[in-house]
Structure 1
Amino acid sequence: MRRAPKKKIQKLAGDALRIANLSLAVSQAGSRLEDHDWQSLLDAMIAKNLEGRHQSILDAAAEHVFTNQPDAYEVLIEAIESIATSGQIKDGESDYDIILVAAPILAWSRFDIASGNIPAPILKTLTTSWRESLLCKGVQVCLLPTLYSIDQLPQDHCTINELLHHTAQNFLQNKAIVAPKELPKTVPFLADSRYLLGVVLAPSNAPVFQWQMTPSPFDIAKAKEATLLLWKQRAHADIAHLLPGCGFEFLLPESYYSACREADILVRPISIRATVFYLCQTLNVDASDLSAILGRFGPETHPGQVDEIRVGFTLKKAPEVIYGVIWPLYQQEDELNALVGPSISTMDEREGEIPTLLKESGISQIQILEDIFGMEFCEDCQAPLYADAEGDLVHPEMPDDAPPEGSVHLH
């Protein structure tokens, strides 16, 4: 299940109540015909509020059904995301299906991972690579002239829907697609995701992606692997130019929310490995000289909910937390999959993904804390706080004798 909105909304009325009730009706439908009827009404209500930029109404409905009808929550979020990122547009006598697609790149470096405007010549070759490696014949794409970090992506459904339709209209009218004048600052990480965004325009009811042309018996997974390999080969040189000094890995471009979720999940183990390597190289120690403290963190507005695991690193010979990595959770079972062990579940003794990654990286001393901590941050710099071995929340600080930042390169 996707996570609940962070903001708790108490009262539900008007369109929000109707959207919540329709979501519940879809989840309880007993036939495909009934399901289609309720879904059409729900889609129309969502589209109306997206067009009117009523994000608060959509958030209120989502909060309500998450708390009261979990099955309806899945229905509602899937509908909101689908309608926000796809639609139809008319150009003269031609009708097009449009969809916002994201191409994630997972990158790692000791230095800053670049983002921002894409030079026109590179944008042109990337557009050609995207079209020829990913899309069916006759399908067009308008690649946005920005390499986005996660902090710079559109932040709500209404903004995403507006971006989709505005970009498609400008493309069909041969108007220039202008990069944003100002983007939020990117928080520096040793490993992070970057995104190319493209609006894809296909003739109505025509296939969009090349893997949709896979012949029977429809081995779509294999077809997607082949498409991804071709995309990597064609785009590698351009992405290397945009991400100087970085190691990077391509993910398959797909619908915006699906691609972003996949990147969020797959960047987590890369972050752990990059951090261990960085600490070993910077402090001139072996991984066996490090220890890790794993704490569960969640919002105070939802007691018992765990939204992320914060991994604090220390030197075995000293108790101070010297570095930290956040492992976000996206599904209900993520907490167990990440941490399973005697202190979390006495029913299953197998190790979770984080302890396994740490041990594979050479760290054997791993402590999993029992408590669920509030999502606290430093008042001065807004950096997340991590739990130390005693369960106190602290600000990570590298040792005084550590080399200055930028002196160690991960690639």
Structure 2
Amino acid sequence: MKRNRLPRRARQTPDSELLTRLATRLSQSSNRVEDAWWEARLAAHIDHLLANDGEETLVAVLDQLYNGGSRAYDELADMVESCAETRRAEGNSGLDAVMIAVPLLAWSRFQIPSGGIPAAQLEAVRVHLQAHVLAADAKLGLSDILYSPDQLPQSYVATAQLAEKLAKAAIHGRNLKIDPAQLSETMNFLSDTRYLLGAVAAPRGTALFRWQEDDGDPAESFRQWAQQGGDALRPLLPACAIEFLPVLAYHAAVRDADRASRPWSLRSAVAFLQTVLNQPAAELRAVVAPFHDRQLEEYRIGFTQRGSSDVVHGVVWPLLENEDENNDAPTQIEAALREAGVSSVLMLDQRFPLEFCDDCGAPLYPNPEGEPVHAELPEDQAEAAPRHLH
């Protein structure tokens, strides 16, 4: 998940000064023994801030280190994520727990479901996760909600609070009941990501995941999960095309899903347009252009029919993590479009402003003449489209 970091002067506090010093010393360490020494102290301070609503301090120091181009930023970012999603055993006989995410990509002409999961289906998912993803002695706790991206925790502190609840559920081998009314409203997109969140717990020093065991293999674990676990999850998403992604620790899973969702959105858009326009992909043209604010923020892809300049649909390809103007997004976008069957791809290289429609707030997409315009399906097909489009 990309963090937009704008230059600002952060007020220094004892907490922020200590956080900066520990992260900097860790980044300067020259051996694993010293790494462990600094990591333990940095983790203890981050745990203190997470437990005491120290989000502002964490984000301010991350901003400062990021803007300074320091290696300490990577060390601190990794440690903050680890502390937010992990619960460590109090003693050698206790259980360590890690918050996990079960991500999947979906697209549909209808609304992609989210919300509560019936108990029988949640139990079926639990059985397959235990069989194909978790180590033999690991315990599992699952939330009873299928989350949309809008409903995921929006801060490190919120993530840590949810991880704490899920860890307790895992230690007792039960599921966590979530009140859907307390979650944000899910927007309706043509293609989107859904997440099942949980936690896995195991005695300190033992395996959490199947692939940590002597005969385990990550690729085989994922294949079995996608096949067997997919059968348990598909009934939750009727009338949807689905692609399953590997089950990982929370932040890693969300990052992977963010990356995978970009080519998925393009493939979904092409499949959607073939359906509503009743035309093969070869009759579509894609116009790709970079859109800037203070810096390059994203690429936008406008789709037209061959021989027309009217943009009938659009997709946003956001930059993620450390991607910048030197990224290879145009190559990735063109490859994904051609794989989906679109042979006419026009790449524009002029800078476009990050503009949105004044009336509805939708992004404006490039047309073949190099103008940012509103995407509009022909009137007789417009009713087939969801209101919001990725």
Structure 2 length-normalised TM: 0.89
Check conservation: 1:97, 1:203, Cα contact below 8 A: yes
Alpha-carbon shift at residue 119 of structure 1 (Å): 0.5
Equivalent residue, structure 2, for 1:190:
190
Letter in 2 for 1:316: R
Equivalent residue, structure 1, for 2:56:
56
Q: 1 CA distance for matches of 2:30 and 2:93?
A: 37
Alpha-carbon shift at residue 155 of structure 1 (Å): 1.2
Check conservation: 2:99, 2:167, Cα contact below 8 A: no
What are the residue-to-residue correspondences of 1:31-42 with 2, within 5 Å?
31-42=31-42
The Cα offsets for residues 188-213 of structure 1, whole Å up to 9 and x where unpaired, read as: 33322211111111112211111111
Letter in 2 for 1:322: V
Alpha-carbon shift at residue 333 of structure 1 (Å): 5.2
Alpha-carbon shift at residue 172 of structure 1 (Å): 4.8
Equivalent residue, structure 2, for 1:211:
211
Alpha-carbon shift at residue 283 of structure 1 (Å): 1.6
Equivalent residue, structure 2, for 1:309:
299
Letter in 1 for 2:255: R
Letter in 2 for 1:313: F
The Cα offsets for residues 209-245 of structure 1, whole Å up to 9 and x where unpaired, read as: 1111135xxxx7xx01111122223322221110111
Q: 1 CA distance for matches of 2:224 and 2:282?
A: 40
Q: 1 CA distance for matches of 2:349 and 2:100?
A: 40
Compared CA separation, residues 404 and 3, structure 1 to 2 (3 A): closer
Check conservation: 1:283, 1:403, Cα contact below 8 A: no
Q: Does 1:330 align with 2:320?
A: yes
Compared CA separation, residues 176 and 353, structure 1 to 2 (3 A): closer
Equivalent residue, structure 1, for 2:240:
246
Q: 1 CA distance for matches of 2:289 and 2:346?
A: 9
Equivalent residue, structure 1, for 2:366:
387
Equivalent residue, structure 2, for 1:343:
none
Equivalent residue, structure 2, for 1:342:
none
Letter in 1 for 2:328: N
Alpha-carbon shift at residue 6 of structure 1 (Å): 4.3
Equivalent residue, structure 2, for 1:110:
109
Check conservation: 2:170, 2:201, Cα contact below 8 A: no
Q: 2 CA distance for matches of 1:292 and 1:174?
A: 49
Equivalent residue, structure 1, for 2:346:
367
Alpha-carbon shift at residue 39 of structure 1 (Å): 2.4
Equivalent residue, structure 1, for 2:164:
165
Check conservation: 2:376, 2:382, Cα contact below 8 A: no
Equivalent residue, structure 2, for 1:44:
44
Between stretches 228-237 and 70-79, larger displacement belongs to: 228-237
Alpha-carbon shift at residue 368 of structure 1 (Å): 2.3
Q: 2 CA distance for matches of 1:316 and 1:173?
A: 59
Q: 1 CA distance for matches of 2:35 and 2:257?
A: 32
Check conservation: 1:117, 1:146, Cα contact below 8 A: yes
Check conservation: 2:111, 2:188, Cα contact below 8 A: yes
Alpha-carbon shift at residue 77 of structure 1 (Å): 0.8
The Cα offsets for residues 42-66 of structure 1, whole Å up to 9 and x where unpaired, read as: 2222111111121111111111111
Secondary structure of residue in 2 paired with 1:142:
strand
Q: 1 CA distance for matches of 2:151 and 2:119?
A: 20
What are the residue-to-residue correspondences of 1:332-351 with 2, within 5 Å?
332=322, 336-339=327-330
Letter in 2 for 1:143: L
Check conservation: 2:101, 2:253, Cα contact below 8 A: yes
Equivalent residue, structure 2, for 1:266:
260
Compared CA separation, residues 320 and 233, structure 1 to 2 (3 A): closer
Alpha-carbon shift at residue 141 of structure 1 (Å): 0.4
Q: 1 CA distance for matches of 2:321 and 2:249?
A: 19
Check conservation: 1:5, 1:63, Cα contact below 8 A: no
The Cα offsets for residues 58-110 of structure 1, whole Å up to 9 and x where unpaired, read as: 1111111111034221111111111110122459x951101001111122222
Check conservation: 1:12, 1:64, Cα contact below 8 A: no
Compared CA separation, residues 380 and 180, structure 1 to 2 (3 A): farther
Letter in 2 for 1:203: P
Q: 1 CA distance for matches of 2:170 and 2:339?
A: 48
Secondary structure of residue in 1 paired with 2:349:
strand
Letter in 1 for 2:195: Y
Name structure 1 gaps, 5 residues minimum: 340-351
Equivalent residue, structure 2, for 1:156:
155
Equivalent residue, structure 2, for 1:21:
21
Check conservation: 2:141, 2:173, Cα contact below 8 A: no
Compared CA separation, residues 105 and 289, structure 1 to 2 (3 A): same
Letter in 1 for 2:339: E
